[in-house]
């Protein structure tokens, strides 16, 4: 049997659960495991309806009501809002009445039989519910985020059509696209051309989504600092660098200090990406926040006697990539901030070492004071 497409399911965790249970259901039916088929059919249908009512609640309790509702209540609500037809709800009673066969006492008392015919009907009901709910999602969303991403991946040079596709999307789906594009860029199979096209689409999309949607999305940068690796934090900054200004002051400082420390330890390959995607410039703008210069100065001091110091002793410059990236950072500094950095660089306690002289002469473009 063909694999059922559940890409319309919004919640990623529920989608994984549904795909897992549906695959197991198909195997059970193939091996004539009727009771297991009936129980799993109920699980899949319930999860599909829960996903919908999490996105579009009908109860006063919102998400909590959808998560607590019984399959019977979900089916009733689904018919009431036109999500499924009356005929489908009636067919689903096969599943609703038999899913409790997992309890031996109920099966014994009611003498219910999990026949192969009922199991086949249950599988068909899952397919019918899937089709009707996915159709409703299409009506509500217009174009889906997955459709737009698929278009870009299949034709990276054809991004000119994307604004027209985006115009057919709901505001909710535009926000989903905003969040999904960076995730898609992490796939190992993506080509360089496709990645650049995704960046272009994401840049244009930020111009048309509401400010509140941007605020929610840019928090992915802060979360990556808190929860993920250094590489991912910088990766997300490529997409939301300019919008980091929407974070609160403390969050901006946390992102700034984390990315700055990462930059000074990055490989030349990563430094080139900082330059290419504007991360260095974003970092420079963040340096204009309170004490940005102090953090840069502190990190510059910290390299005295470390790898930069050894390179100086050996008479070689640090990499051109590092110097170029730092120059891009400094280039974004505003007047007072830049002046503060110049003063920090020429402090006697700092330029007593060769490292201090290196920063002063190569970063600030002035001669060493000795």
Q: How confident is the model at residue 275 (pLDDT cuts 50, 70, 90)?
A: confident
Distance between CA atoms of residues 215 and 245, nearest Å: 9
Instruction: Let me know if residue 163 belongs to a domain.
Output: no
- Residue 235, pLDDT above cutoff 90: no
The encoded tokens of residue 326 equal: 């730092």
Instruction: Let me know if residue 153 belongs to a domain.
Output: no
Q: Are 329 and 284 in contact (CB under 8 A)?
A: yes
Mean pLDDT of 185-207: 90
Angle at 351 between CA 349 and CA 352, to 5 degrees: 70
Report pLDDT digits (tens) over 44-85: 999 999 999 998 888 666 667 888 888 899 999 999 999 999
CATH number of the domain where residue 116 is located: 1.20.120
Ranked by mean pLDDT, the top range of 91-100, 120-129, 317-326 is 120-129
User: Collapsing DSSP states into helix, strand and coil, what is residue 316?
Assistant: coil
Instruction: Let me know if residue 151 belongs to a domain.
Output: no
The total of structural domains in the chain comes to 2
Region of poorest pLDDT, from 106-120, 195-209, 271-285, 308-322:
308-322
User: Collapsing DSSP states into helix, strand and coil, what is residue 252?
Assistant: helix
Last residue of a domain, one of 90, 124, 141: 141
Instruction: Let me know if residue 196 belongs to a domain.
Output: no
Instruction: Let me know if residue 224 belongs to a domain.
Output: no
CA 98 to chain CA centroid, Å, is 39
Domain span including residue 85 = 12-141
Instruction: Let me know if residue 178 belongs to a domain.
Output: no
Last residue of a domain, one of 141, 165, 197: 141
Who wins on pLDDT, 152 or 352?
152
Of the candidates 147, 277, 273, the one whose C-alpha atom is nearest the C-alpha of residue 203 is: 277
Distance between CA atoms of residues 275 and 86, nearest Å: 58
pLDDT at 225: 77
Q: What pTM, to 2 d.p., does this model score?
A: 0.58
pLDDT at 76: 93
Who wins on pLDDT, 358 or 298?
298
Tokens 């997409």, residue located? 239
Report pLDDT digits (tens) over 141-168: 788 888 899 889 988 888 888 998 898 8
Beta partners for residue 142, in sequence order: 169
Last residue of a domain, one of 141, 162, 187: 141
Half-sphere exposure of 311 (CA within 13 A, CB side): 14
Instruction: Let me know if residue 60 belongs to a domain.
Output: yes
Residue ranges with strand state E in the chain? none
137 shares its domain with 250: no
Q: Are 218 and 286 in contact (CB under 8 A)?
A: no
Mean pLDDT of 344-361: 49
The encoded tokens of residue 286 equal: 């963040």
Beta partners for residue 173, in sequence order: none
Instruction: Let me know if residue 210 belongs to a domain.
Output: no
Report pLDDT digits (tens) over 21-48: 999 999 999 999 988 898 899 999 999 9
Which ranges of 56-115 does DSSP label H, i.e. alpha helix? Answer: 63-68, 71-80, 86-91, 93-98, 104-110
């Amino acid at each position: 049997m063909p694999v059922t497409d559940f890409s319309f399911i919004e919640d990623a965790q529920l989608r994984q659960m549904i795909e897992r249970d549906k695959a197991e259901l198909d195997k059970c039916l193939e091996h004539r495991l009727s009771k297991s088929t009936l129980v799993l059919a109920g699980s899949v249908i319930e999860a599909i309806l829960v996903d919908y009512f999490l996105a579009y609640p009908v109860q006063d309790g919102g998400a909590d009501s959808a998560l607590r509702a019984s399959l019977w209540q979900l089916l009733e609500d689904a018919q009431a809002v036109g999500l499924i037809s009356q005929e489908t709800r009636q067919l689903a009673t096969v599943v609703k009445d038999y899913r409790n066969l997992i309890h031996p006492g109920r099966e014994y008392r009611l003498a219910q039989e999990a026949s192969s015919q009922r199991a086949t009907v249950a599988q068909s009901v899952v397919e019918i519910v899937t089709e009707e709910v996915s159709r409703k999602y299409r009506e509500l969303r217009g174009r889906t985020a997955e459709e737009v991403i698929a278009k870009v991946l299949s034709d990276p040079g054809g991004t000119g059509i994307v604004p027209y596709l985006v115009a057919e999307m709901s505001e909710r789906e535009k926000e989903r696209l905003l969040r999904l594009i960076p995730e898609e860029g992490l796939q190992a199979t993506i080509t360089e051309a496709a990645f650049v096209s995704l960046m272009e689409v994401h840049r244009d999309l930020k111009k048309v989504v509401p400010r509140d949607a941007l605020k929610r999305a840019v928090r992915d940068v802060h979360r990556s600092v808190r929860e993920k690796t250094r590489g991912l934090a910088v990766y997300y900054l490529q997409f939301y660098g300019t919008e980091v200004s929407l974070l609160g002051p403390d969050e901006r400082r946390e992102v700034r200090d984390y990315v700055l420390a990462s930059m000074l330890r990055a490989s030349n390959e990563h430094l080139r990406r900082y330059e290419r995607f504007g991360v260095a410039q974003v970092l420079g703008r963040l340096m204009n926040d309170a004490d940005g210069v102090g953090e840069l100065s502190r990190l510059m001091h910290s390299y005295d006697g470390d790898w930069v110091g050894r390179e100086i002793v050996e008479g070689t410059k640090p990499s051109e990539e590092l110097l170029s990236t730092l120059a891009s950072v400094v280039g974004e500094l505003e007047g007072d901030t830049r002046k503060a950095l110049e003063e920090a660089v020429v402090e006697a306690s700092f330029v007593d070492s060769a490292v201090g002289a290196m920063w002063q002469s190569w970063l600030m473009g002035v001669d060493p004071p000795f």
